[in-house]
Amino acid sequence: MNRITKLLKPKLNSLWCAVICLAVVSCNQLQQGRGEITPASSTDNNKKAIAEFWPVLDITVTKDKAVEERINKMISEMTLAQKVAQMIQPEIRDISIEDMRKYGFGSYLNGGGSFPNSNKHATPADWIELADKMYQASIDASLDGSVIPTMWGTDAVHGHNNVVGATLFPHNIGLGASRNTELIEQVAKITAREVMVTGIDWVFAPTVAVVRDDRWGRTYEGYSEDPEIVKSYAAAIVKGLQGSVGKDFLGDEQVISTVKHFLGDGGTVNGDDQGDNIASEEQLFNIHAQGYIGGLSAGAQSVMASFNSWHGVKNHGNKYLLSDVLKERMGFDGFVVGDWNGHGQVKNCSNESCPQAINAGLDIFMVPTNAWKPLYENTIAQVNKGEISQSRIDDAVRRILRVKVRAGLFEKPSPAKRVLSGKTEVIGAKAHRGVAKQAVRESLVLLKNNSRLLPLSPKQRILVAGDGADNIGKQSGGWTISWQGTGNNNDDFPGGTSIYDGIATAVHNAGGEIELSEEGRFKQKPDVAIVVFGEEPYAEGHGDIDNLAYQRGNKKDLALLKRLKEQNIPVVSIFISGRPMWVNAELNTSDAFVAAWLPGSEGAGIAEVIFTKASGEINYDFIGKLSFSWPAHSQQYVVNRFDADYQPLLPYGFGLKYGQPSTLSDQLSEELNIADKALRKLEIYQAAVQKPWESFISAGDTPLAITSSVENISAISFQTIDKQVQEDAFRLTFSGNKTAIFSFTSNFPEDLRGYVETNSSLTFSYRVDEKPSHQTLLTMQCEGDCSGSLDMNSIFEAAPIGKWQVHSIDLKCFTNAGVDMAKITTPFSIETSGTLQLSLADIAITPNDNKEAIQHCN
């Protein structure tokens, strides 16, 4: 088939469908996923497509006859309930040890920011204790005869990142810049060792997404926009985590790895997290599947199904991809684990029931929340009713047991007695931090270096500024202790260093002078200023953005850079980010500019590159090269090596070394694209609170900033809840003890006059869970003592309990009530002195809103 016909294929398919299958099966069903319901002729078609696009892999781990016999014997002794339990993976917040003893789950996980006893500062001993108890309970649950240990999976995605004190490596985007596969294998090896200290068997890494649209909130979890690096890195990481066959494969210091998220997660339309990938099959293979070629060939024992769809069909239910391609054609004989209730997103499924996913080839349901119990019961019932075949169940269990045998879980002692268990000195060990520091050095990409300002002599008077300078949480990004990477401070990183720490050491050792001031103030004029700034941490969909402009509408870091420049102080910018961003103005205002990505806990690695030795010699040169093209304007979010019309600001592979002339002009265009200037929806809360707003609760006293998913004070509590995806909404409970208020507030007043001029409205989704007992006010506040409130009781009282509603209020209602739109500090707050339970989501100011849904005020 030539290129054109391949690209046309989806269309041809529908045509074929319209003509041929009307009588056989509805087109809808057929197009929904090669494979969910497949007439014979399409199976032949599938076979042809498979052979055309997908290779048979040369996998280093092969089947062993004795192992297969052993597994078969076990399977023959298991009850259906025990088999299904192997396929259920609950989360530590939702099951007890007793549940494990009763059901004997095949595995369990802790999600991002989920710790033993819900204690962020849980010690390695606490982790081991939980691992050991779960293990023992799973043994108790086993059949007479065959004992089947459970296994624990965790997201160790840049080191053992849920554990305080662990070595945190740069996120994958930074590792991609280093182009060093040996280093990457070392990083993975160390991660495996630190994980083994806590008694955990399995990690959900590496992410091998090939990121095509930098607006995606998981861009930084990818090594590159190009499959080349991803493929070779995947193999190296898998080897580092699992060890090598014939050597240390799944030995005492290794963990099971998961190549994720299968398939096409980095290529969704608009970079939408969990969205739809519409790549042709050829592109799916050439671009998105390359990490699997690398990782599976190296022997990765598990694959995680992705939340995304391919041509509208959720991967968790796509038999063609999970079974026909991955297992049958490519020859993967490990297991496919689902992603966080991802099965619930398959058409006609819920978190509690999804035979479609099992039938498509999912082997383990990742089922956090209390959905695990109904899911377990429903799955058993579905096998009994014949909706899932016994042989599919046996195949899934065979795959799970095969991995357990290969991992030596039947032979290894309980987690507490394993070789590395409890060796706390291994966590955050000096040698480990040394490798992480090397990774930091090699990940830095020098974008600009006017007059060879870098490297700096450490003997000078140095000013360090910017809110990222002394902030290990910020420099580490998402998936850092907490899921979103928020709510951490430097004390949460014992043994780690901020970027400032490294600079201070270099300067002090050489006899230079240093001042640290976030706002860039100084007592004595410095010779040079190093300004560290960039994105705040985020994870997954919470990091999705709609264009790449840095600090659009709130150029506070640019103001700082300008202030220093105006005083004739040379400026070195260190930019922290999970993706390339449009920073033309910041580049213009910097003499040197370093893309530092998300370096992790060893910030000191940066000073080792940007400073010379005291003698003036170069200490370490820059090695990093862009693994993502750098955008020329804010709308250039899809810009990838080999694009037909490739015009980035800086191309893939760019990265200056010392001594090379800087090529960037100081007069890059600072014009925002027209499209950006048009008023677009101003989001206040969209799955998470949006910058510059922050959320607070208060009951007369000092407002409490909301930094985690649950916050409580006397009269009001806040809790994130799930509306469409996890934690995209929140519930407020007013107890009625006192007047209490929830608000979104910013320190920088926003000028919203343009929104009033374009007939915008304040829009939000709400659900009344318990009606208000007293008056409830929705208030906007402006700088100075200025505010305007609307009484919401009639609306909340009329709303049906427990049902999501959308409401919009003409902004003029607020101006009528006395609000000055030129300086809004709080665009939304809710206040009552009575009792009320109210859930909220999708809060925004929407221009030219559809008038029908609007609450008008004359």
Catalytic positions, written as ranges: 339, 540
- Measured from the CB of residue 485, what is the shortest distance to ligand BGC in angstroms? 12
| Shorter beta-carbon distance to ligand BGC: residue 339 or 849 | 339
Least distance from C-beta 204 to ligand BGC, angstroms?
Answer: 4
| 796/826 Cα distance (integer angstroms) | 21
The residue (of 113 and 520) whose beta carbon lies closer to ligand BGC is: 113
CA distances from 125 to 47, 189, 413, 799 (A): 51, 22, 17, 50
Residues 6 or more apart from 381 whose CB is under 8 A from it? none
Q: C-beta of 727: minimal distance to ligand BGC in Å?
A: 5
- Strand segments, DSSP code E, in 485-623 are 513-516, 528-534, 571-576, 592-597
Q: What single DSSP character describes residue 637?
A: -
The single-letter DSSP state of residue 323 is: I
Q: How far is the CB of 725 from ligand BGC (least distance, A)?
A: 8
Q: How many CB atoms lie within 10 A of CB 145?
A: 9
Could you give the CA distance from residue 159 to residue 243 in angstroms, rounded to a whole number? 16
Backbone angles phi and psi of 572, in degrees to 5: -105, 120
Min separation Cβ 541 and ligand BGC, Å: 9
Extended strands (E) in 376-508: 445-449, 461-465
Residue 13 Cβ vs ligand BGC, minimum distance, rounded to whole Å: 29
Residue number with the shortest CB distance to ligand BGC?
Answer: 111
State in angstroms the smallest separation of the CB of 493 from ligand BGC.
20
Question: Residue 439 in contact with residue 237, Cβ under 8 Å?
Answer: no
Minimum separation from the CB atom of position 219 to ligand BGC (A): 14
- Residue among 112 and 291 whose Cβ is closer to ligand BGC: 112
Three-state secondary-structure class, residue 741: strand
Contact predicate 616/460, CB 8 Å: no
Pick the closer one to ligand BGC by CB: 344 or 772.
Answer: 344
Closer residue to ligand BGC in complex, CB, 36/339: 339
Cβ proximity to ligand BGC, 303 vs 444, nearer residue = 303
Burial 605-617 (b: 16+ CB within 10 A, else e): bbbbbbbbbeeee
Cα separation, 102 vs 105, whole angstroms: 9
Nearer to ligand BGC (CB atom), residue 222 or residue 655: 222
Which tokens sit at 768? 């009344």
- Give CA–CA dist 575/591, Å, rounded: 13
Give the Cα-Cα-Cα angle 329, 332, 334 (nearest 5 degrees): 155
Write the DSSP symbol of residue 546.
S
Phi/psi of residue 286, nearest 5 degrees:
-65, -35
- Shortest distance, position 88 Cβ to ligand BGC, whole Å: 15
Helices (runs of H) and strands (runs of E) counted in the chain: 26, 31
Residue 780 forms beta bridges with which residues? 788
Nearer residue to ligand BGC within complex by CB, 296 or 587: 296
Q: How far is the CB of 480 from ligand BGC (least distance, A)?
A: 12
For ligand BGC, give the closer residue by CB, 338 or 772: 338
Smaller CB separation from ligand BGC, 260 or 406: 260
- Mapped onto helix, strand or coil, the DSSP state of residue 687 is coil
Q: Provide the angle, in degrees to the nearest 10, between the axes of the packed helices 227-242 and 181-197.
A: 40
Q: Give 324 or 727: the residue with its C-beta nearer to ligand BGC.
A: 727
12 — phi, psi (to 5°)?
A: -60, -40
369 vs 690 by CB, closer to ligand BGC? 369
Minimum distance between the CB of residue 145 and ligand BGC, rounded to whole angstroms?
33
- Tokens matching residue 660: 């090379």
State the DSSP string of 81-135: HHHHHHTEE-BTTT--HHHHHHH--SEEEE-TT--GGG-TT--HHHHHHHHHHHH
Contact footprint for ligand BGC (CB under 6 A) = 111-114, 155, 204, 260, 339-340, 483, 540, 726-727
Q: Nearest approach, Cβ of 741 to ligand BGC (angstroms)?
A: 26
Q: Quick one: 260 or 641, whose CB is closer to ligand BGC? A: 260
Beta carbons of 526 and 461 less than 8 angstroms apart: yes
Q: What angle do CA 60, 66, 70 make, to 5 degrees?
A: 115
**Pairing assessment for the beta strands 716-721 and 729-735 based on DSSP bridges:** antiparallel
Smallest distance, Å, CB 205 to ligand BGC? 8
Taken in order 401, 407, 410, 413, the sign of the CA dihedral is: negative
Confirm if 761 and 854 have CB atoms less than 8 A apart: yes
Residue 253 to residues 101, 199, 249, 412, 436: CA-CA distances in angstroms? 27, 11, 9, 12, 19
What 3-state class would DSSP assign to 245? coil
